[in-house]
Chains A and B, each alone.
Chain A
Amino acid sequence: MLPAISFQSVSKVYPASGKPGSTPLQALDDVSFDIQQGEFFGLLGPNGAGKTTLISILAGLTRASSGHAKVYGFDVQNDFAQARRHLGIVPQELVFDPFFTVREALRFQSGYFGLHKNDDWIDELLTGLGLADKAKANMRQLSGGMKRRVLVAQALVHRPPVIVLDEPTAGVDVELRQTLWQFVDQLNRQGHTVLLTTHYLEEAEALCQRIAMLKRGQVIALERTSTLLANAAASVLHFKTDSTLPPALAAQARVTGRIVELPAYAADDVERHLSALREAGVRVEDLEIRKADLEDVFLKMMGATPEAPPPAGRADLAEAEA
């Protein structure tokens, strides 16, 4: 079976802007991987890692400097019409056409694909995404969350086998996130391939069967989600403190305000951390041991380099790529 999506040695260099001191930017460097039909695939990376460039190349919005991207075997440049018929993309930016209603926007989008009598599916999308009562509303009248739902509906209106969601839940409320994931999960169960980029790593962990991590334009990890988690620290020692950590612990700790998290690969590690804290006279509160999650894996993979800042704390994730 053909891969749903195939990236073959894709590189992208943005030329220098021409301003003094500007240099060419290598946004992608020899990216190669396949996504199989029916997969729910996550593409993760910090800001500037090249996720959106890669998706833009897939969508035909940007041309690769070298290499090829294919959708169901169709080259996105040489066979763009067939590639785009197989692809539905939810863009990151909240864009809309202010002249038209929700239903009109969906009919137009459907018509661009040659589907002129598609109202049954449009009704299904409107219902599934909680937009049924907004069908006659002008796009300008919708809230941000509702506009995001319409973007999803527009991406799905031609029933593409492959769905690409570029930060679909950035800045939207919990209700929409749940509605959206239920809907997308249902589509995935029906056989649709889903490629997701998100800053909500718990979403990627819960939904994605496989994950690729990008850093500075290169793929640095490509694994099943379960394998990634298994390779990470088994547990994390989590506590709050106002004290300064001893240097040996500070070097491996993730500190967010008063919260400190230390990786623990085995029970001995927990004991060692606790005794080091005791010896340093560090007062700890709310001590607990939790299982390592994808965020721990992500941070470990990315390292703490200035070019690759860790994802924002869970509270301010929505602002991360605003």
Chain B
Amino acid sequence: MSGQSYAPIARPPLQAVAAPNDGWKMLLKKEVLRFWRVAFQTIAAPVLTAVLYLMIFGHVLSDRVQVYPGVGYVAFLVPGLVMMAVLQNAFANSASSLVQSKIMGNLVFTLLTPLSARDWFIAYVGAAIARGLLVGLGVYLVTLLYAPPRVASLPWVLAFALLGAALMGALGLLAGLWADKFDQMAVFQNFIVMPMTFLAGVFYSIHSLPGIWQRLSHLNPFFYMIDGLRYGFFGVSDVSPWLSLGVAGSALLAVSALTMYLLNTGYKLRG
């Protein structure tokens, strides 16, 4: 085939425009804007849900339950609800964004760019952290109407909120990579995230559980995040905050490593 020896055309050669490898900043911005554009759905609605939990459980149980000495039940609920909101929304953000982009086909715009696995991870998890913390802050501010402000240690509060949001953002990214449709993502959300959050002591102290359930609760990493945040609020918790920090940090490292591996291999992204 003579076409193999085609002579080059005499024109000045073009080169790609030189630019810094900081495309993750724009992906992060886009992911934040994506949830901000539908803030009623992504921020206001989960805040309202958490407040409804507080009103209903607080009203029903406030006279019957006292978990920690000097801490009313409504006040006890606040950190659990804040952490639940942080965890669920951080997960939902990265998972739903990725699955939606896969289903609509617009993920191709990101796949065609020089963005690396690390860039994807930073942007998706960063946006998940932003949404998780925004919703958590919203829940906390609204609960001030029902319980007096109480923060024993702001660094612990921030550490666990950040850690929880990052862990769930990474887990959401993992779920988004695995799921090909919303139904599969719902499996993750409703059969893993939701039960593990509810069974992690949002509404109770695990000390009120029978022995076997107490031991099982210790296998749930969500318990350590909620308990750790509760330590930040009240200065007391079911287990040492350092243990909680270690477990939550290890879970974050493990989930991040798996997610990065899948991103690097192009799992379900590149055929």
- Chain A contacts to B: CB under 8 angstroms: 1, 14, 33-34, 36-39, 56, 59-63, 72, 80-82, 84-87, 89, 91, 93, 95-100, 104-105, 107-116, 154, 158-161, 190-192, 209-212, 219, 221-224, 227
Contact = CB atoms under 8 A, between A and B. Distances in A.
B106 A95 contact: yes
Interface in B1-57: 1-4, 6-9, 11-17, 19-23, 25-27, 29-30, 33-34, 37-38
A223 B3 contact: yes
A221 B116 contact: no
Contacts, number: 153
Contacts of B17: 85, 113, 115, 158-159
B1 to A, nearest CB: 4
Given A38-B11, A39-B9, A221 B271 contact: no
17 contacts: A1-B8, A36-B6, A38-B8, A59-B111, A84-B113, A85-B17, A85-B19, A86-B15, A87-B112, A97-B109, A99-B38, A100-B30, A112-B23, A114-B22, A159-B17, A211-B3, A224-B6
B22 A36 contact: no
B108 interface: yes
Interface centre among B2, B33, B109 (most CB of A within 10 A): B109
Nearest to A37: B13
B145 interface: no
Contact of A160 (B16, B37, B109, B271): B16
B3 A222 contact: yes
A81 B21 contact: yes
Interface string B108-135: 1111111110000000000000000000
A86 B16 contact: yes
Interface of B: 1-4, 6-9, 11-17, 19-23, 25-27, 29-30, 33-34, 37-38, 101, 104-106, 108-116, 266, 270-271
Contacts of B3: 33, 210-212, 221-224, 227
A-B CB proximity, top 8 nearest = A111-B26, A114-B19, A81-B114, A161-B14, A95-B105, A38-B9, A222-B3, A112-B113
A309 B7 CA distance: 33
Given A95-B108, A191-B13, A63 B266 contact: yes
Contact of A161 (B6, B15, B27): B15
B20 to A, nearest CB: 5
Given A39-B9, A91-B108, A161-B14, A61 B1 contact: no
Interface centre among A98, A104, A113 (most CB of B within 10 A): A113
Contacts of A99: 33-34, 37-38
